[in-house]
Amino acid sequence: MAIIYDEQQRTLTLHTKNTTYQMQIDKFGFLLHLYYGKRAEGCMDYLLTYYDRGFSGNPYDAGRDKTYSMDALPQEFPSLGTGDYRSPACIIKNTDSTYSSDFRYVDHEIRDGKYALQGLPAVYAGDEEAQSLEVKLEDKVTGVQAVLLYGVLPEYDVITRSVKIVNGGAGNITVEKLCPACLDMTGGNYDFITFYGRHAMERNYQRMPIGHGLSKIGSLRGSSSHQYNPAVIVADHGTTEEAGGCYALSFVYSGGFQSEAGKDQYNQTRVVMGISEEQFAYPLKPGESLQAPEVILSYSAAGLELLSQNLHRCIRTHLCRGKYKEAVRPVLINSWEASYFDFTGESLLKLAEQAAQLGIEMFVMDDGWFGNRDSDLRGLGDWKVNEKKLGCSLKELISRINGLGLKFGIWIEPEMVNEDSDLYRAHPDWAFVIPGRRPNRSRHQLVLDFSRREVVDYIYAQICSVLDQGNVEYIKWDMNRSLADIYSATADSQGRVLYDYTLGLYDFLERLVKRYPNILIEGCSGGGGRFDAGMLYYTPQIWCSDNTDALDRVEIQYGTSFIYPVSSVGSHVSASPNHQTGRCTSLHTRGTVAMAGTFGYELDLNQLTDAEKNEIRSQIKDYKKYAALIQRGLYYRLTCPQTDDVGAWAFVSEDRSEALVQAVTLKQHANMPVNYIRIRGLEEGCMYREASTGRVYSSAALSDAGFPIPIAMGEHQAYQWHFVKEK
């Protein structure tokens, strides 16, 4: 049993294989958080302490007991109005315009299987793999309920949390803040690890101590954003890759979000994660409810690498869906950096022919194939194939590409519209524009109001009519600007529009996934601007960054690896000098870095020398050889590319029988000291043979003394070693 209710102690305990999460219904009906950490038995309510805390007030029920204060007790779902002055998980404006919510326990239910969320992405699991807990809380005065949901996947050391607010009262209310996850920790000193960035340089690792005063990250952009990723790690000060306690909170949501972390006056830490409060004021009429997206939680007592491995496994196998979730993805060539908007059907075919000769398996026609889209000034919204530009129908182009032995994929950006488009001319009110104001443009485009069903329906029909023209086997779903000027002509309140927009996006994606179960969808938002667990429910891979520079990619992929599996990381070999940085790197280095993801190419293959073409042929063979290990192996970060001279990582098979180690020298010096990379993850006390040299090494020496990175002339050399356990 993963979930246990102890009637005597009134505790609800959630066990996974290595972790335990416990809460208690206290004497007044408040739901207190007791514990989350290493697997533990018994009741942890000894952690609660009661002292007279001066200005921390007491609920009326406590009578003259000044030692009972919600301002000091750890809680599951803190709200305003109970005397807790820390950051709440929920703020509700009641019918009478007051802001108090006094949620008390009503009942609970334990079920086999993992709950699902209507219209929202969520972790899924069979009845034998998971259990769910629903705890109903209610504010007796307003009749408003908070229904807390917990999903427990014991084998994965994962617990999920969501919450539904139900307006059980007689008047209208507004939900102004909703964070499905709150972690209150009574002791300890923690660090807040977050992943910040910008377009073309996403998910940089940052670690800072959680102190007094809130550390807050989030996105006000209507999408999860390049600037902060909707996943955080809370780690003990001393936690390293290999040792120490740490928690992950990964939001399964692709809209604006926020996460706050801070110590309270008694040095207790609270971390919350949920929907961005900005422009959020969700109205609920009597009987209506609002379901929040879920947060994936995991705890590791053995450092960050195990935490990442837990998340990778859960996201890869219980969040990603469809035919491709476990399959090695086809090696693709994407037309974007090969020719941008400047192509014809013939030039695409020339690229495809070359790709086929090199062993590439799929051709992706990127932006520029529809409407009058010859630049980013126009055309978005007009999802009609530009047959004049292609010189043939889409059907014919696809069958010629299929005839070369390649699958065919296509780029779309359904959420957007250019003012210079037939769609905008016909339906200007379908774009987010505030009446009387001029909208903010970004990349010359506006955002379609996907909170409106008719807009989603229309674009969906347009896209389907394109996809139905031929044998499309891959879609790149792009989204190239942040939302602004939020105004929906048909909404009863503008405070719901951003949330409903994301629900509209999910509705579209769900319909697409159901109608085309054989199509592989890759998410994208100017690269990795919407790289989140929500999107991964629909798109098992996401274009990691518009930055294809091999060196920058080592850092971007490093940050990404803390939360997301390698199978989700879109990664391509592009031209040198690189189009984003101007940096030159060898084809070998670019190939090595791109292999740590879903491998592909994005350059004009016709410009390559014969030697380079041969190298690509063997690169693809190499990738194929290791692809299953790369995709499903346990991931180890062997260095920190932000501070080390070398970027190195390893994929180790779950049975420890083999490991692929990849390394790139990031800094080059004269008379350079040797860098030794300690290879983790190998089975203790075993010997491993390195495939290229045949030399046998002891796993103890490889992990303790390390493996020397050769010193060679020239910048940014890359290396790859395959270690196989001796029988």
Residues in the chain: 727
**180, 294 in Cβ contact below 8 A?**
yes
Q: How far is the CB of 352 from ligand GLA (least distance, A)?
A: 17
195 binds ligand GLA (CB under 6 A): no
**Side chain identity, residue 312:** H
Per CB under 6 A, the list member of 191, 366, 419, 500 interacting with ligand GLA is 366
Using CB under 6 A as the binding rule, whether residue 543 contacts ligand GLA is answered as: yes
- Angstrom CA distances, 564 to 102, 353, 404, 651, 706, stand at 37, 34, 34, 14, 27
Residues 6+ apart with CB under 8 A from 50: 67, 68
Stretch that binds ligand GLA, among 178-186, 490-498, 519-527, 619-627 (CB under 6 A): 519-527
Question: In whole angstroms, how close is the CB of 377 to ligand GLA at the nearest point?
Answer: 12
Contacts of 718 (CB under 8 A, 6+ apart): 550, 586, 588, 589, 591, 592, 593, 662, 663, 664, 665
- Here the tokens at position 530 are 């919407």
The CA distance from 619 to 587, in Å, is 9
**Applying CB under 6 A, which part among 136-144, 190-198, 419-427, 521-529 lies near ligand GLA?**
521-529
Contact pick of 526, 559, 591, 681 for ligand GLA (by CB under 6 A): 526
Asked whether position 382 contacts ligand GLA by CB under 6 A, the answer is no
Q: Is 532 a catalytic residue?
A: yes
- Which residues from 546-585 bind ligand GLA, rule CB under 6 A? 546
Q: Kindly state the tokens that stand for 282.
A: 């969700």
Q: Which run of H or of E encompasses 511? A: helix 497-515
The CA distance from 205 to 562, in Å, is 9
Rounded distance between C-alpha atoms, residue 303 and residue 156, angstroms: 16
Whichever of 262 and 381 has its CB closer to ligand GLA, that residue is: 381
Amino acid, res. 241: E
Closer residue to ligand GLA (CB): 478 or 500: 478
Assign 218 to helix, strand or coil: strand
Q: What is the 3-state secondary structure (H, E, C) of 331-352?
A: CEEECHHHHCCCCCHHHHHHHH
State in angstroms the smallest separation of the CB of 541 from ligand GLA: 13
> Which of 527, 681 has the CB closer to ligand GLA?
527
Q: Is 264 in the site for ligand GLA (CB under 6 A)?
A: no
CA 271 to chain centre: 19
Chain positions 449 to 508 lying near ligand GLA, rule: CB under 6 A, are 478, 480
Per the residue annotation, which of 45, 485, 612, 645 is the catalytic one?
612
Whether 612 sits among the annotated catalytic residues: the reply is yes
Q: Which residue's CB atom is positioned nearest to ligand GLA?
A: 367
CB of 87 to ligand GLA, least distance (A): 35
Closest CA to 450 of 381, 530, 389: 381
- Each residue 659-678 as x (binds ligand GLA by CB under 6 A) or -, in order, gives --------------------
Interface positions, 393-422, toward ligand GLA (CB under 6 A): 411
User: Of the two residues 580 and 639, which places its CB atom closer to ligand GLA in the complex?
Assistant: 580
x-marked contacts with ligand GLA along 108-137 as a string, rule CB under 6 A? ------------------------------
CB of 376 to ligand GLA, least distance (A): 6
Beta carbon of residue 592, minimum distance to ligand GLA (angstroms, whole number): 21
Nearer to ligand GLA, 345 or 526 (CB): 526
Is 99 strand, coil or helix? coil
Residue from 532, 546, 552, 658 carrying the catalytic annotation: 532
Q: Which of 336, 369, 564, 636 binds ligand GLA (CB under 6 A)?
A: 336
Kindly tell me which of 102 and 337 has the beta carbon lying closer to ligand GLA: 337
* C-alpha count within 13 angstroms, C-beta hemisphere, residue 69: 18
Instruction: State yes or no: residue 524 binds ligand GLA (CB under 6 A).
Output: yes
Edge-to-edge strand ranges of the sheet holding 282-284: 90-93, 173-178, 282-284
Closest to ligand GLA by CB, 157 vs 478, is 478
Q: Whose structure tokens read 């406590």?
A: 62
Determine the interface stretch with ligand GLA among 104-112, 523-531, 653-661, 695-703 (rule: CB under 6 A): 523-531
Cβ closer to ligand GLA: 183 or 365? 365
Cα distance between residue 657 and residue 605, in whole Å: 37
Give 191 or 552: the residue with its C-beta nearer to ligand GLA. 552
**Environment class of 683 (CB within 10 Å of its CB; exposed 0-12, middle 13-18, buried 19+):** middle
Applying CB under 6 A, which residues contact ligand GLA? 336, 366-367, 411, 478, 480, 524, 526-527, 543, 546
Q: Which residues are catalytic?
A: 532, 612
